Amino acid sequence: MKTLIIIPAYNERENIKRVITNLTENYPKYDYVIINDCSTDDTEKICKENGFNYVSLPANLGIGGGVQTGYKYALKNGYDIAVQMDGDGQHDPAFLDELTSVIERDEADIVIGSRFITKEGFQSSGMRRFGIKFLSLLIKLCSGADIKDVTSGYRAVNRRFIEIYSKDYADDYPEPEAIVAARMYGGRLAEVPVIMNERMGGVSSINPIKSVYYMIKVSLSILFFRITFKGGNRK
């Protein structure tokens, strides 16, 4: 099946070349597209010079709008499977086959790569793990989806959800909300174990001060999404 790897990138000059070279050399059967979310460093220049396949947003949209662009690109170019993978090297492409095979066997509509099943590799800090546990519980109560690693941005979706997500995708910190959305649209979710790395260069987009804001905002957005959902007419 035609598979596209969506790689959102914001100021990833230190990582993007390594991530893409690894992908094209070791996993050439996958197409990819970099969504450069109006980076202020020379991410775009690196993409251009190396002949990478990229879409460059003329203004910064944030991770949600960026990833959604990837889904729109996948829809436009007729892909059957889309995989989100971070541009900072946290996600190992060695697990691409495992993510996509679940969809190829039509066992799920959305497959999430999870750090917390085999508990190997980078597990992130205790505080953050607690936060993820809380969100996981909240999502389970709101939608019935039993997902452990709800903030994982390493996930694969099938054609049906490429269409849905290109119409309806949250703006900020969209990963947990997308799980609730998946359930609301009647999607089948699956979680497969992956091993994540700690990011190698650059700065993560989430700092400790933002984390509290993140938790409140995500919790509210999950609740409000659940309450106000009516078949999805957002854009």
Partner 1 sequence: MSIVLRISLLIGILIYVIFIFSLLRKKNFTLKYSLLWFFSALVLFVFVIFPDVAIWISKILGIESVVNAVFLMFLFVMLLILVSLTSIVSKQHNSIKVLIQELAMAKKEIEEMKKK
What x-and-dash track marks residues 146-185 binding partner 1 by CB under 8 A? -------------------------x--------------
Candidates 22, 24, 56, 211: give the one binding partner 1 (CB under 8 A). 56
Q: Is 58 in the site for partner 1 (CB under 8 A)?
A: yes
Which span sits near partner 1 by CB under 8 A: 55-63, 105-113, 116-124, 155-163?
A: 55-63
Smallest separation (angstroms) from partner 1 to the CB of 224: 13
Nearer to partner 1, 61 or 196 (CB): 61
Tell which positions 64-103 bind partner 1, by CB under 8 A: 65, 68-69, 72-73, 76
Report how far residue 6's alpha carbon sits from residue 128's, in angstroms, rounded to the nearest whole number.
25
Smallest separation (angstroms) from partner 1 to the CB of 118: 36
Task: State the amino acid at position 181 in one-letter form.
Answer: A
Distance, CA of 81 to chain centre: 13
Nearer to partner 1, 212 or 220 (CB): 220
Nearer to partner 1, 54 or 116 (CB): 54
In which residue are the tokens 């709008």 written?
65
Q: Is 55 in the site for partner 1 (CB under 8 A)?
A: yes
Nearer to partner 1, 47 or 156 (CB): 47
The residue ranges that bind partner 1 (CB under 8 A) are: 54-59, 61, 65, 68-69, 72-73, 76, 171, 234-235
